[in-house]
Every structure is written in structure tokens, then in C-alpha cells.
Amino acid sequence: MFDLKAVDDVHERLEQYESLLKQHGLIQESHQASPEKETPYHVSNGHSTSRSTPEPSTGRLLAGRGKSRYLDSALWQNLVEEELNPSSEEEDETENLQAAATSCALDPVSAAMFGSSSSAQSLVELHPIYEDALKLWEIFASRVEPITRTFHVASGLAIVKRAASNPSSVSKATECLLFATYHFAVVAMTEDECMEVTGRPRARLRSRFHDATRQALINAHFLRTTDTVVLQAYVLFLLAVRNSYDPHTFWILTGIATRIAQRIGLHRDGEQLGLKPFNVEMRRRLFWQLFPLDGMAAQLCGVRISVPYETWDTKKPLNVNDEDLYPDMVEPPIERQGATDMIFCLVRSQLNDFHHKTHTYLGESWETGDLTTIERVEAEIAELESDIESRFVRHCDFFEPLQCLTIAMAKSATSGARLRLRLPRGKAGGEMSVDEHRNLFRMAMKILDYKIAVRTNPALEIYSWHLQALNQWEPLIWVLNELRKGPTAVADYQGTWTKIELIYACHPEFTTRKRALNVAVNKLTLKAYENRANAEGHSMAEPSFIADLRSSLDKREGSRTQPMPPYNPWEPQSEELPMPIDPALAGDGDATITNATVDGFSPNGIDWMFWDQLIRDPDSLPMSATNL
């Protein structure tokens, strides 16, 4: 029998020798790029036309057998291709590890990260039956994929069909992707829907696929992987658990994904790397999911993003439908005008790009009185709004759920940008007039109006897994503080409290979760309501959610007298991840704050010390006597 791996090695070395001969001018350079599956590529020094002054790319991409590794280190670059291909060498090392005794840890670090078994485990028995696998894929494709766009749907369906018909034949990388997909599909369903689709309780099925995904990642040695499919699975896993994990733990996990992406070269645009058009597009899609996710996690932990803006040049995905893409295409697809499958992700990418470019100097501008910069940012926000309106929003159909969500996100994000531009003025310590307070209050209420409209739209229930995470704390805190201080900035006292009640109705987790920020906002809400007597002529009946808040806070205070068990950050603390499960990195974190970044209302400009002071003492923000 032929040794297929040996044949592949021969072909790969021939391609490497050919590359060397071309570099030294011994054979003519071909105008057609060789397939990236076999050939190592060098990175050009070109930049994306849509980015501003990224660092010059001096690295190179080594690719082969479906894997890739980006090298930007002098040590590695001094090794020529025929001496060492990191992707293939690591693959050989993995095969040697797999030949070792099964009692030994195949990848002890990967296993330790998830607190699971230190040895590889077969997951064949955990795969759903063929019919259920296709049902779960259909849920994923209709509810998750429109928001994430990490798949080429036709290719993904083919993978699921092949794997579900013979689970024992799938590769470890594909198995990661399958379980990540099944897990996300369960996350995206309600309890009743899960029983109807699978005949099993949601909590039990979610726990099963959650643990299976973690173990599949361990089996694939995800910490050492150079396989984009494994990274894709890991990113989907992170997106699915973002509402359940402790924010500090979650930041570490997104940091791991970022490091893997850098090793693969995802931060460098695939077009400049000479990759096939299909792979270029899929890499861009994955990068623009991971980059905002890691930025969000970092900001909530009080640190800067780990991939600085100037160190990457990956372009945004093209505005195309999935039908415009196929794996063997040799030319990039022609971009469409108007709404496509990518509309939500593209608007979100443009908003995130804007936030990362502008957030660093907004607070400083108010502190230094740099009105020129503030006016320039105002103009940039207007330009951003106009561009999104002309390219995307005006083409949207309000009755198409994804496009309706896109409209709301675009409107809310640009309003949020204007609000964030003005809020640092309060932090800077200058007096704000009554008119300024009223203007900020109107801006904040406008953002909350968009949020309520989205959460109460029945057509958007299919995205409830995503909407649950959307909580824009800045406008809510500002509104509550204005209510607490009295009716000076509040035009419609009764209407404002009605909307706050709707916010709490949309987010029942506000009163059930014990996160520090949730508790602080709940206390602020009660204080604001209790000070309603200061609003002359604005008497109102007590809303039912106020009683629920009091009860929740009373229970929390009562629980403090009970002995607390030792805290273990590795154990799940959220009701979202049912017990029992293997020891995980789950916790009841602040992830409800998180995904505002991913949907354009970035916490990059949030100064949590400022908000903490404002919650504790709303009178710390001076108000001018003018116009009182």
C-alpha cells in the first residue's frame, strides 16, 4: 500500500524547492498563485485600503495540509522552508503523542484549562442521531449564523451530513466544530423549543454538548493548534458561553483565542498572504468575530485590547451572499449593493472599527478643553451615520428580522457614540447647564427606546440568545441618576418610569443574578424611585418591579449572614450552565454588559470609576444654576 502521508510530504517539499528556485531567479515566476493548501507563502508589505497606517507586515505564512502558521519573529524567519515547516513539525509531534500510552496526557495544558480528563476521550456516543443533527444545524443556521457568519452555510451543511452519518470517521477538528454548533443551537432555543425539536430537556442537552465541546477541543490540542477549523469552533464556543462565564475568566479565554489567531496569521489579510479567495473571505469573517469579542472582554476587566489597532490589517468581509462563494473559486466575488447575508456583521464591523479608532482621546479632549477634536469626532460620527445609512440601512426591509435588527443596531450605536462623546464632560468636572442635562437625558432615553423596541418585537425572538446579552449600562445609569435628582431634566416622569419597567421586564436576570454591577444598578433604581417625592406633581402608583427589586435585595442582604462556601473560580456559578457538569471555567460573570461592544455600543469609553462615583453620589456632578 502507498503511504499517502509520504506522498504528501514529497509534493510539499517539491513545492518548497520550487519556491526557493523562484526566489533566486532560477525559474520563471508564475503569475498564478499556488494553492495555499500545499505551499508556504511570504507576506507582502501591502496594507488594507480601509485601514489607517497599520504596522508594515514583515512576516510570512507557512501553510500546508489545511493548517497555517504566521511567523513574524527573526528567529523563525532565519529558518528557510526546507529546513523547518512549523505546521508539519507540530503535526508529527502530535502523531507521536497519540502513539503514546493512553494513560498519559496528550495535551495536559489544554486539559487543565478546562478541568477535564487529562487524556483523550472518545465522544462518538455523545453525537446526536442523524435526524437530530440536521435539526440542530437548521436551528444554528437560522438563528446563530446570521449573527456570527463564521460558516459558509452550504459547506457547513455538507459537513454535518457526512459527519452525522458516520461520527466515528470525523477528524478531531471537525468534531470540535460539530459539537460547538450543536451546543450553540441548544443555547439559541427555549426550553419548549428544545423539547419539541429534540425531545430532551434544554438544561440536560446544553450540559451534554457544553462538556462535549470542551473535551473535543482538548482532544484536538487546541492550545497548540494551527488549524483554522479548531479556532472557529473555539470562537463559537466562546460566543455561546459569554453570558455564563466570569468576565475575568472569559477575558483569559478570549485572549487564548486571540493568540491562536495570531499564530495562524488571522490578523494579516489573507489577500496579501496570497490565499485563495474563499479562504480569504472566511478568515476575514472569523477575525471580525474574534477581534471585537476579545476587545469587549478586555475592557470589562479594565485593560486595553490585546491586539492594538495598528498591528492588524485584516479587511472587513465583502458584502456578498453565501451563494456568491464556493471553495474552489479563483477570483474574488463581486460585491453586491444593498442588503446581503452579511449586512448585520458588516454594520457591526464598521461600528467597531470606528470605536477603536476614536475611543482613546475622547475623555482627554474634554479634560484639556480640546474642542477642535470634539468637533472633529462629531463630524466623524455624522459621516459614519451617513455612510451606514446609504450603504446598508436604506436597503433594509423592516419586516425582515435580521435587517430590522441591523437598523436598530445602527441607530442605537450612532446615538450611543454621541452620548459617549458628551459624557466625559461630566467627568472633567465642568458645570453642566440644565439644557445640557436635558439633552443628555433625551439621548439616553432614545437609546433605551431602541433597546425596548428590539426586545419587544416578536419577529426578533429568534435572536433572543443574542438580545439577552445586549445591555447598555451607560444610558440606563444616566437616566436613573437624573430621576434620582428630580424632574429638572425629565420631561415625562411617568413615561420614563414606564420604560424603565419595560427594561427590567426585558431583563429578568437583573434581579436574579448577583453580579456586583447588577446589584449596584438595582440599588440605584430603588433610590431613584424612593426620591420620586421630590418631583412635585409627579405622583404615581408603585410599579410591580420595584417590589421585586426590594425583595431581591433583601434576600441578598439576608444571605450574607449565612456561611459562605469556599469560592472556587473553576466551578460554574450560573444557573445557565446546569449542574452537574465537569469542573468548568464558568461563573456568573458580567457578560450581560459585554456584547454591547460587539453590537456597536462599545464600553471602550466607559470609565467604571466615574460611574461608580456617580451611582454612589449623583450630586458629585455639578449643575450650573443657569436656566434653573
> For residue range 23-64, what is the model confidence (pLDDT) as tens digits?
555 555 544 444 343 333 333 333 333 445 555 555 666 666
pLDDT digits (tens, 9 = 90+) for 600-610: 433 344 444 44
- Do 586 and 244 touch, CB atoms closer than 8 A? yes
Q: Which residues of the chain have pLDDT under 70?
A: 1-119, 300, 302, 306, 359-370, 426-430, 514-515, 533-540, 557-628
User: In this predicted structure, what is the pLDDT of residue 140?
Assistant: 98
User: In this predicted structure, what is the pLDDT of residue 460?
Assistant: 95
Burial label, 176 (beta-carbon count in 10 A; 0-12, 13-18, 19+): buried
Cα–Cα distance list, 486 to 438, 492, 536 (Å): 12, 12, 9
SS3 9: helix
User: In this predicted structure, what is the pLDDT of residue 469?
Assistant: 73
Distance CA 494, CA 542 (A): 11
Comparing C-alpha atoms, which of 493, 442, 35 is closest to residue 279? 35
What is the per-residue burial (b if ≥16 Cβ within 10 Å, else e) of 379-416?
eebeebbeebeebbbebbeeeebbbbbbbbbbbbbbbb
The one-letter amino acid code at 194 reads C
Three cell numbers written together for 522: 438595582
Q: Measure the CA dihedral 482/423/468/287, to 10°.
A: 180
User: In this predicted structure, what is the pLDDT of residue 142?
Assistant: 97
User: In this predicted structure, what is the pLDDT of residue 617?
Assistant: 52
